[in-house]
Structure 1
Amino acid sequence: MTTSVTPWWKALKIRQEILNASGQIDDVQMSLFRAVHGTGTDRPPYADARYYGEITHPTERLIDLLTEIAVRIGAGDDYLKARAVTRLDQGMGGGKSHACIGAFHLADNPESLLGTELGKRVAERAKAKVGRPLAGDLGRPHVVVLPCDNMTPAVGVQDLDGPAISLYERFLWRLFSRDYSLFERYQPFWSDKHKIAEAIRAVNRPVLIIVDEVLDYIGNGLDGANKPDLAAQDMAFLRALLDVVNDVPHVAMLVVMIASDTDKTALSAVAQDRRDDLNSLLERNGMPATVTEVGDFADILRRRLFDAEPAAEVLAATAAIHEPVLEDTAWAKHVWDAIGADWRRRWSAEVAACYPFHPMLMSLAKEEWSKVTGFQRVRSTIRIFAATVYAQQQRGKAGEWVPALIGPGDLPLSDSAVREALLGSGLVEDERTIANYRSLAEIEVVNHDASSGTARRQDLERPSSPWTEANPRAAERAANFIFLASIVGTLRPGRGRGASAPEVKAATSVPDINYTITDADSIVDDLVNPSRGMSALDIIPGQGNNKPARYFLSTRLTHRMLVNNIRRTITEVERDQVIAEVAQKLASSGPFRDLKFVPADPERSAADVLATAGLDTAYTSRLIVLDPEQYSLRNGMEKPTVEALTIALGLGQGVRRLPVQWASSAVYAVVNTQRRGLARGLAVEYLARQKALAAPEVQNDDELKATGTKELTTARQQLEKAIKRAYQHVVYLAQPDPDGERYLDQLTFDEDNFTSLDGTMVWKGLADRDKVFDAGQFGARALLHNLRDQDYGKTLSDIRAAFYSAPRLPLLYAGDRDLQQAIYDAVSDGLVSIVDGAGTEVAVTAPGQVNLASTSLRLAKPQPRTCLTCGELTHEGTCSASDGSDVQHGGTTDSGTSVYASSVGAGGQVTAAADSGGGSTAGPAKDRQVAFSFTSNLLASSDNADGFAALFRAFYMALDERQISYLQGTIQLVLQGEAAEQIQQRLEELGIRATFKEI
């Protein structure tokens, strides 16, 4: 490093509070309670509005939050331009308390806060929002702070709560500034929205209500009070208050409750119900908000750690001294390109944004640390970096080497504050693992006084070289990075297990061309050498340029500890992906002709995904399974899913109305939101065990491998069971009244052993709702029942299409086959007719001959015929002139062209075209078609046997005299063995295959 560049530890002044605490910054975890009620030594510096503004970086989201509050309480008649209720739902360490304190200062001391950089940005944005500047005092707001994490239900604190016991009473006591008469006046009305609104108006000033960590109170807090009446009153008050705040002018409310997907607090069943209840109210009445995002890290850190911005010339000079190494061909080929160093392309801007930290370190914190479940993003990062800058500054003052930019190898593990900040950050959760890594830091990297440790000894014992002065801690820096990559977990999110060789080399780089890539290779080779390097190092050999070697500091863990470490590295994407994969494998179509799975696309809205998924398939009943990542029902989170399904089923309005033709034959399987949460937890457990089983530590240990295999099998079974239970809902298009409106209907399975992933179960459930016909339910009579008058005259193609597109018509179990059979049976029974374009009746001799694709054949009401027995003109029915035998109407059409006879007799059906033997005298004789069926037990009546003998003799005569031109039929007989042999012989002579079996 050239002497012309001012080192960062001289260019920046570390805040005095960090210096006073020797790098162990105290108030990283800000307390709203202490800011509001702290006195004397317990009053933190940030309780002063101006100091709070100095140490707070004005992130865009924090400015938005405070602007909404400022407009709501201080913009006069324009208060409606801002939302009334805001919910902060970030996880731990996300800046919620910091934001609450900012809101408190904004309302409690607006002149002071608005004088800071943060306040000025808020004032500017508020002016742009309402078109005029706000009053400097914002109308003298009154602030009501309910720090629920510092309240015990049913037990008040005299100095703070006076006579108040319940949450409502504590609210009143603070609202009326301890005015006992007003408190007593409104005390009885804990659920009366009108009275609560009246109480707020009685203050005659704008009001800001801040409710911090409300779950601490309504969750286990109310459980501990063991007073159901108090719990009921408190929840009723919160319900009423959330509604009232929206209705009373100049009132804003800020509520802190971590989202249920993020908060892992164990709750009782009743406490869980209270959380779900409040969660639904907050979703209905308020807007969720966050105040920090990963991109704010560098700015937040610099504002929190240093009391001034670095000079532009220092930033430019620091960036410039690194450029020769970044542009070096060998470094680029073997390191920068291999690690995907995107920050190199915009180097000067990245240095300016991250200074005094190296962009590679900031990238590690933003992209990897922040994704580990237990890591508290802002809070933990501030602690680690505060300890680091203090320790490095002390080295600089002592004349020791300090990096030009603090990189991922420059967190000095010899400093106890740095080491404990890392190990206590949440990157490592298990206490035993923390202890193991603490030992590894001293043994393998560097000890407390920087005199020993495997890596440190290599630096101390290395012969002098041209780059020694510029990089005296090269091995320690390499080991530091391996240590960081190891404590993140067995698998680094998005990176793989441990640290790659190019990453380790990058961590050793310095802005000096004398330190070459060859030197970096040598440093790493010595460090990972089995005989002289780090003994606890696991090495995964490389496989060419695309898969370099990886290094991992291993502690001997139990299987449970290993799973715990891996569990925290599972990303939400991995979790939801495995749920989707398992759901697809578990899904079965059952009677549905097609099974589809619609994967989530977080980049698009739920409605857009369904609209473009190609789900409108013609003439096909479909069971469509929706990815739980993007679709769910119930628990107050179903609105996007319902909107998407409404559009997908063709019920959208205006531009959202899709031309969906086959929506009636599409049935959607959707998860339950709450049960999805359970499945997500089990998916994380399954993935953690799956990855643990694949880890070398387990594969090389028979005992761990057996344990891991068993636990993985159990976890898989539990996950599958949870996913089946999660798919609780079925959504479909309904129209039970043929003349009524179509609407989206839902079927919910309450039994745990039922799931909408099983097409057979779904079909059975829909059969109970008359949405479908079950097997064997749809016949000729059912067909006629579902046909309307306007359906007669439609083509067979139109009739077929209606059963897939019209929700008034149930879906058919066997689809087209059921419809063909029903139409055939109806025609055979004289219930309907099939006619051609000219209206001429067409004969059908088998179900397969009902051409459902025909656009010329039409379904018609049966044509009347004259009964041969009674002479009546009839369509169907039993002959009134019958002698008691079960004989149906039979007769000729008006033209006398065909005779239809139907007897309940023997077993079979026959169709024949016969030459006319007489009949009509009005013209030449015409052929007639004869069709009949019969079933009869001939053992029970000798008369029947004689009758059939006569019938078949008539057949014989007609055949023998060549009077039959066409013959088609099926006959089933039960006869004696000798007769069967004779018939078999005759059939074989005719080339007819028959089935014979003994009974």
Structure 2
Amino acid sequence: MATSVTPWWKALQIRKEIINASGQIDDVQMSLFQAVYGRGANRAPYADATYYGSITHPTERLIDLLAEIAIRIGGGSDYQKARAVTRLDQGMGGGKSHACIGAFHLAANPSALMLTELGQAVAAAGASKIGRPLAGDLDNPHVVVLPCDSMTPFAPVQELDGPATTLYERFLWRLFSKDYSLFERYQPYWSDKSKIAEAIRAVNRPVLVIVDEILDYIGNGLDGAQKPDLGAQDVAFLRALLDVINDVPNVAMVVVMIASDKDSIALSAAAQARRDDLNSLLDRNGTPATVTEVGDFADILRRRLFESDPAKEVLAATAELYRSALADKAWVKNVWDATSADWRREWDAQVAACYPFHPMLIGIAKNEWSMVTGFQRVRSTIRIFAATVYAQQQRGLAGEWVPALIGPGDLPLSDNSVREALLGSGLVEDERTIANYRSLAENEVVNAARDGGIARKQDLGRGPLMWAESNPFASERAATFIFLASIVGTLRPGRGRGASAPEVKAATSIPDALYTVTDADLVVEDLVNPDGGMSAVESIPGQGNNKPARYFLSTRLTHRMLVNNIKRTITETERDEVIAKFADRLASTGPFRDLKFVSADRTRTAVEVLTTAGVDTAHVNRLVVLDPAQFSLRNGMEQETMEALTTAMGLNRGTAQVPVQWASSAVYAVVNTQRRGVARGVAVEYLARQKALAAPEVQGDAELKATGSKDFSAAKDQLEKAVRRAYQHLVFLAQPDPDGERTVEDITFDSDNLTALDGTMAWKALAERDKAFDAGQFSAKALTHNLRDQDYGRSLSEIRSAFYNAPRLPLLYGGDSDLQHAIFDAVHAGLMRIVDGSDTSVAVTGPGQVNLASTGLRLAKPLAKCDVCGVSEDNHNCTLPTETNVEHPVPASPTSKKSSRSGTFPSPDVPVEKVHSAETEIAPTEKQLAFSFTSNLLNQENAADGFAAMFRSLYLACDERQVSYLQGTLQLVVDGDAAADIADKAAELGFTVTARDM
């Protein structure tokens, strides 16, 4: 935009009352009652004749109406040159109340009104009609105002009505200015024309009678009063009054009653009869009149909204600003000619007439909105445009982009006042449809925060284009025009339903050569695209150049609309719960013996959730799936998860350490943070389609149901893929150096076809990292290779446990079975022995006889072979190959030393027959432990740690089923919460617990 052009929001001063009301004009719907009877805070600004004249554009029809009244009441003997009774019958918002207030000021405050532009125009018109100037005070007329929309039949207001009850009596009280004697004199004659005429003459001044919204009184109002006699008097009075007005000199009457074809009010049969009767009287005695016409829109708006007219140089500069864009050949061919933009022919004059509004917008208001039956032409237009100029001015003051001329795409639907003024204007009459369009404005175009709405998001997400700064609301402007064209329905004269593609492009235009027709094409295409565009937009295909495509926002339910509306209601909790559900269902054990899913609990920390999830299970290879709602890795968001995993593997130190024994055999499947974000988006789509399919409106519509079922099935497949891909990481406890530190390591799957949820895939990855043996890999040689010297002499139970709790030992594919087979094969191959408590070799005849639960049988290295006979030197007798047949002493075996666990090995004279089978082994001797203690643990950290270690050993012995009998009494003083938990656990075992407060 050229810097030499003063923007309209600086060139024009918005009226203070609009600014003070933040664009909402409370008095745009003028009230005759407030103008005449308002006092104090209830006195309307337009009760002042000067202010009224300043905000009123002198339309030809309003001037004609007021000139007729001025001649009738102030024209002296020329009164007959003007009509006596005028009926204002325009529909709602047509300016009737405005005209009545003008008539009131003309008669009640003629001197003040005549000083305004409006008053001077009225005086000039009156003088032209009678051939001489009117008196400045119009001969001091008297005004009788009956605001029937503020009067309840037969329920007078003392301050205004005094002793009057009926409409006739209220007329008299106002006619005689509260003169009680005159009131009583004429009170009985409610239907006597001569007496009514005499009463009017008794004032001895010209009289103007204004009866506003008479149907409110004689219609349902009289029905509600339930006083038929008094009601009949009021109707008879009106009949007489309408006849009398014509007969009394210098008396005029203005009656407001909307024509039947413009008023949809429901009436009872009796009220309808009264209406028909009054209609006929007005047709006979009165002249219908209107005070505005379509051509007055722009002038009325500018006078009502702004303090003064713009400077001519501003108008000229603004018109020049657009000239190059209007002359651009591509725009002319593809847009301007296709939209029949007649306003281009007299561009300078159109800008001067419509400023600060674009002629295209004023044309729509005049030629389309005014055609809608329920649209309140003047009132509604003022409200819409007042809210618009205020909102746009505030943007300008804040340094934001503002159009040089406000076009049909520049009504900011993000502003509540603008949106509600549009929807409440009468363009949309049905309340349900209004609610639908309100939702469409927010969801499809722009929300109140200006960060949502499909069109607005497209603008915000647009890349750095050359025209982006000069047209930052291109998509929103296009969508706004489609919205405006949609709410009018099919009433667009000669245009059909919705907005044509060239019209939408025109709504996005700016006076900047950088924004081309090609750019406009792309903006519109993105906006109406079925995949990423507005979900409620429906397209009518074009037919050549003469019939371009048309777009409109449909309030008819479509599946895409329903899904998009439901998506906004999906909570984060619902989203994460469905991901967890899919992860739990999709996970498979593979070679792992156990599968456990750890659910999130946002009320606790990740450490608390994982360490209390019961994942530390003995002698079981476990795949532990962590809930993505609380656990994830990478993208700088893994600290809490890693802290929980480190704790769950027992690697913390000090007070943060948790007793964990079987961490090595637990492998954790964890999602990738970035891929979790993708899965969450897909989960929302899945849930929205699931809920949409279950909706009654879809179940009751075969077409919607078919579409919904197809979309739901596709969304389910997409979610399954997304969840599988999200689980990209395996985490496990490792000890690469058998003598080194234990560490937490992870495996990351880079291929989309691999997932940590699949136990088989997970095991293959662990085998490649030497964390596990794959199927068939664990042999006798593999067993001996992985055992250290200190492992010989350990019980079978300890060896078994080591393969589940020692990270230096890989996990076994078949678990205990693999270990049994490997030990059996190693024994038969002479690679090791199984010995009992006396170091006697135990014979095993099959893998199943290897009792891995045994604490009495141990692994031992093989014995050296006899140099004489070649037999293993295991307590056998051998004779030398000589005649003396001397007994051969058995050499000392490396294993004949004292055992730290079982004492000494048997003496050499134990016969071979003593060797027995592991299958028939007698249970090892048990020991009885008995001890007592009394200790104060307050501030005794070392003592507390020692007791904790002792009880931990007791816990492990119980957990390993190594305790066969327990007896004792335990007394302790403990924290209240812990006491309750211990008591509950004891009660579950059937113990009686005694607790008392200390």
Q: Structure 2-normalised TM-score? A: 0.56
Which piece of structure 1 moves more, 523-532 or 63-72? 523-532
Could you tell me which residue of structure 1 aligns to residue 102 of structure 2?
A: 102
CA distance in 2, matches of 1:452, 1:236: 61
Could you tell me which residue of structure 1 aligns to residue 405 of structure 2?
A: 405
CA distance in 2, matches of 1:481, 1:156: 50
Question: Counterparts in 2 of 1:173-212, with a 5 A limit?
Answer: 173-212=173-212
2:368 maps to 1:388: no
CA shift digits 1:761-797 (9 cap, x unpaired): xxxxxxxxxxxxxxxxxxxxxxxxxxxxxxxxxxxxx
CA distance in 2, matches of 1:703, 1:545: 33
Question: Counterparts in 2 of 1:107-118, with a 5 A limit?
Answer: 107-118=107-118
Deviation at 1:233, TM superposition (A): 1.0
Matched AA of 1:275: R
Could you tell me which residue of structure 2 aligns to residue 416 of structure 1?
A: 416
Question: Counterparts in 2 of 1:869-884, with a 5 A limit?
Answer: none
Deviation at 1:452, TM superposition (A): 2.0
Could you tell me which residue of structure 1 aligns to residue 60 of structure 2?
A: 60
CA distance in 2, matches of 1:178, 1:64: 32
Could you tell me which residue of structure 2 aligns to residue 869 of structure 1?
A: none
The answer to whether the 8 Å contact 2:245/2:251 transfers is: yes
Could you tell me which residue of structure 1 aligns to residue 28 of structure 2?
A: 28
CA distance in 2, matches of 1:273, 1:431: 30
- Partner of 1:5, secondary structure, is coil
Matched AA of 1:129: K
CA distance in 2, matches of 1:113, 1:703: 66
Could you tell me which residue of structure 2 aligns to residue 159 of structure 1?
A: 159
Q: Which runs of 5+ in 1 are unaligned?
A: 559-696, 705-999
Question: Counterparts in 2 of 1:845-860, with a 5 A limit?
Answer: none
Deviation at 1:493, TM superposition (A): 4.2
CA distance in 1, matches of 2:184, 2:290: 38
- Partner of 1:144, secondary structure, is strand
2:342 maps to 1:339: no
CA distance in 2, matches of 1:701, 1:492: 31
Which piece of structure 1 moves more, 308-317 or 529-538? 529-538
Deviation at 1:374, TM superposition (A): 1.6
Question: Counterparts in 2 of 1:595-674, with a 5 A limit?
Answer: none
Could you tell me which residue of structure 1 aligns to residue 847 of structure 2?
A: none
Could you tell me which residue of structure 2 aligns to residue 472 of structure 1?
A: 472
The answer to whether the 8 Å contact 1:445/1:456 transfers is: yes
2:247 maps to 1:247: yes
CA distance in 2, matches of 1:39, 1:701: 59
CA distance in 1, matches of 2:112, 2:132: 20
Could you tell me which residue of structure 2 aligns to residue 7 of structure 1?
A: 7
- Partner of 1:112, secondary structure, is helix
Deviation at 1:491, TM superposition (A): 5.1
Could you tell me which residue of structure 1 aligns to residue 439 of structure 2?
A: 439
Matched AA of 1:312: K
CA distance in 1, matches of 2:514, 2:424: 38
Which piece of structure 1 moves more, 111-120 or 433-442? 433-442
CA shift digits 1:607-659 (9 cap, x unpaired): xxxxxxxxxxxxxxxxxxxxxxxxxxxxxxxxxxxxxxxxxxxxxxxxxxxxx
CA shift digits 1:89-115 (9 cap, x unpaired): 000000000000000000000000010
Could you tell me which residue of structure 1 aligns to residue 427 of structure 2?
A: 427
- Partner of 2:204, secondary structure, is coil
Could you tell me which residue of structure 2 aligns to residue 619 of structure 1?
A: none
The answer to whether the 8 Å contact 2:485/2:499 transfers is: yes
CA distance in 2, matches of 1:534, 1:244: 63
Q: Aligned pairs, how many?
A: 566
Deviation at 1:466, TM superposition (A): 2.2
CA distance in 2, matches of 1:211, 1:147: 6
Q: Structure 1-normalised TM-score? A: 0.56
CA distance in 2, matches of 1:406, 1:341: 16
Could you tell me which residue of structure 2 aligns to residue 462 of structure 1?
A: 462
The answer to whether the 8 Å contact 1:146/1:211 transfers is: yes
CA distance in 1, matches of 2:32, 2:452: 44
Could you tell me which residue of structure 1 aligns to residue 76 of structure 2?
A: 76
Deviation at 1:430, TM superposition (A): 2.1
Could you tell me which residue of structure 2 aligns to residue 304 of structure 1?
A: 304
Could you tell me which residue of structure 2 aligns to residue 91 of structure 1?
A: 91
The answer to whether the 8 Å contact 2:371/2:491 transfers is: no
Deviation at 1:431, TM superposition (A): 2.1
Deviation at 1:432, TM superposition (A): 2.2
The answer to whether the 8 Å contact 2:368/2:491 transfers is: no
Could you tell me which residue of structure 2 aligns to residue 449 of structure 1?
A: 449
Matched AA of 2:406: I
CA shift digits 1:656-691 (9 cap, x unpaired): xxxxxxxxxxxxxxxxxxxxxxxxxxxxxxxxxxxx
CA distance in 1, matches of 2:430, 2:232: 38
Question: Counterparts in 2 of 1:746-761, with a 5 A limit?
Answer: none
CA distance in 2, matches of 1:398, 1:506: 26
Deviation at 1:494, TM superposition (A): 3.5
CA distance in 1, matches of 2:226, 2:27: 34
2:356 maps to 1:349: no
CA distance in 2, matches of 1:532, 1:357: 32
Change (3 A) 1:406 1:538: same
The answer to whether the 8 Å contact 1:491/1:498 transfers is: no
The answer to whether the 8 Å contact 2:372/2:491 transfers is: no
- Partner of 2:201, secondary structure, is helix
Deviation at 1:25, TM superposition (A): 1.1
The answer to whether the 8 Å contact 2:315/2:355 transfers is: yes
- Partner of 1:210, secondary structure, is strand
CA shift digits 1:130-150 (9 cap, x unpaired): 111111110000000000111
Could you tell me which residue of structure 2 aligns to residue 956 of structure 1?
A: none
CA distance in 2, matches of 1:551, 1:491: 15
Deviation at 1:531, TM superposition (A): 1.1
Change (3 A) 1:58 1:703: farther
Matched AA of 2:38: G
Could you tell me which residue of structure 2 aligns to residue 227 of structure 1?
A: 227
Matched AA of 1:84: A
Question: Counterparts in 2 of 1:571-970, with a 5 A limit?
Answer: none
The answer to whether the 8 Å contact 1:433/1:557 transfers is: no
CA distance in 2, matches of 1:332, 1:534: 27
CA distance in 1, matches of 2:235, 2:115: 39
Deviation at 1:489, TM superposition (A): 2.1
- Partner of 2:260, secondary structure, is coil
CA shift digits 1:147-198 (9 cap, x unpaired): 0111111111111111111111110000000000000000111111111111
CA distance in 1, matches of 2:82, 2:10: 45
CA distance in 1, matches of 2:554, 2:416: 21
CA shift digits 1:568-620 (9 cap, x unpaired): xxxxxxxxxxxxxxxxxxxxxxxxxxxxxxxxxxxxxxxxxxxxxxxxxxxxx
- Partner of 2:288, secondary structure, is strand
2:120 maps to 1:120: yes
CA distance in 2, matches of 1:14, 1:488: 28
The answer to whether the 8 Å contact 1:414/1:449 transfers is: yes
The answer to whether the 8 Å contact 1:149/1:216 transfers is: yes
The answer to whether the 8 Å contact 2:338/2:502 transfers is: yes
CA distance in 2, matches of 1:58, 1:491: 30
CA distance in 1, matches of 2:491, 2:51: 41
- Partner of 1:309, secondary structure, is coil
Matched AA of 2:378: V
Could you tell me which residue of structure 2 aligns to residue 256 of structure 1?
A: 256
CA shift digits 1:724-744 (9 cap, x unpaired): xxxxxxxxxxxxxxxxxxxxx
Deviation at 1:254, TM superposition (A): 0.3
CA distance in 2, matches of 1:535, 1:150: 46
Could you tell me which residue of structure 2 aligns to residue 372 of structure 1?
A: 372
Could you tell me which residue of structure 2 aligns to residue 492 of structure 1?
A: 492
- Partner of 1:489, secondary structure, is coil
CA distance in 2, matches of 1:557, 1:292: 39
Could you tell me which residue of structure 1 aligns to residue 556 of structure 2?
A: 556
Deviation at 1:555, TM superposition (A): 2.1
Could you tell me which residue of structure 1 aligns to residue 532 of structure 2?
A: 532
Could you tell me which residue of structure 2 aligns to residue 286 of structure 1?
A: 286
CA distance in 2, matches of 1:453, 1:269: 49
